[in-house]
Structure 1
Amino acid sequence: MRAFGRLAAATVSAAALFGGLVAIAPAASALPAACTKDTTFPVPLAETVTANVNLRKNPGTGSTSLGILAKGTKFTGHCLTNKGGTNWEYGKVTSGANKGKWGWVAWEYLRD
């Protein structure tokens, strides 16, 4: 996680230096309880869904599905938690039929 933090800091610095836009993370109070200060990313991660997958209300396969994210859907991750041996990422859908929805996606179905 430390290497990720250094990479994120370098990315933000480079974007600021070259005039790029930097996404602002939501306030910690806006994130679910599973997102602690130790599991929240220093900057949001722009990712892509690698296969059709459920967007979940809570981390875990037993949680309500908020919709299906199609392969190629864009997702911005804000934190990571582990539930039942699976890593789950919380974030916002930024493209596709579920654009604008917030929820949990199994980490194995996301790539940077």
Structure 2
Amino acid sequence: MRLPSRVAAVAGAVVLMAGGATLATAPTAAAVSTPSNCQYRWYTPHNAKTTAGVNLRTGPSTGYTSLGILAKGTGFTHYCIAYPNGTNWAWGKVTSGANRGKSGWVAYSYLTH
């Protein structure tokens, strides 16, 4: 029987608190709280890198505030996309570089897999 990912995560935490072995798992898309304006959520996170310098934004368009610039080659794990006005935007978390740990939106055309 396969346990849902949240149950497995809780079970792993209980094992760790009880002094068990270290358990490391990657979060599934279902385990990450995605913004309400996501139109399509991935079943598993997608790891990507930026193809050029690009803004990390608070929402899925250039009209939203920039949270910082991601340099070319910055790691970005995305969990969902939105496509307002025909342009694809990915929401996720920065995994390398100066903005590591920040979450936000990146224009999908600036990501490579």
Shorter-chain TM-score tier? 0.7 to 0.9
**Structure 1 stretches of 4+ moved >2 Å:** 25-29
Distance 1:84 1:66 in 2: 22
Unaligned runs of 5+ in 1: 1-20
Q: How far apart are residue 23 of structure 1 and its match?
A: 1.7
Matched, 1:86 2:99: no
User: Size of the alignment, in residue pairs?
Assistant: 90
User: Which residue of 23, 40, 64 corresponds with 2:26?
Assistant: 23
Identity among equivalent positions (%) equals: 53
| Superposed counterparts of 1:24-103, under 5 Å | 24-25=27-28, 27=30, 30-36=33-39, 39-103=40-104
Distance 2:101 2:41 in 1: 20
Deviations 1:47-81 (A, max 9, x none): 00000000000000010000000000000010011
Distance 1:29 1:97, change over 3 A: closer
Unaligned runs of 5+ in 2: 1-23
Distance 1:29 1:74 in 2: 18
Q: Which amino acid aligns with 1:35?
A: C
What TM-score, normalized to structure 2? 0.74
What TM-score, normalized to structure 1? 0.74
Deviations 1:3-44 (A, max 9, x none): xxxxxxxxxxxxxxxxxx7521355672100125xx100100
Q: Secondary structure at the match of 1:61?
A: coil
| Larger Cα-atom Rg | 2
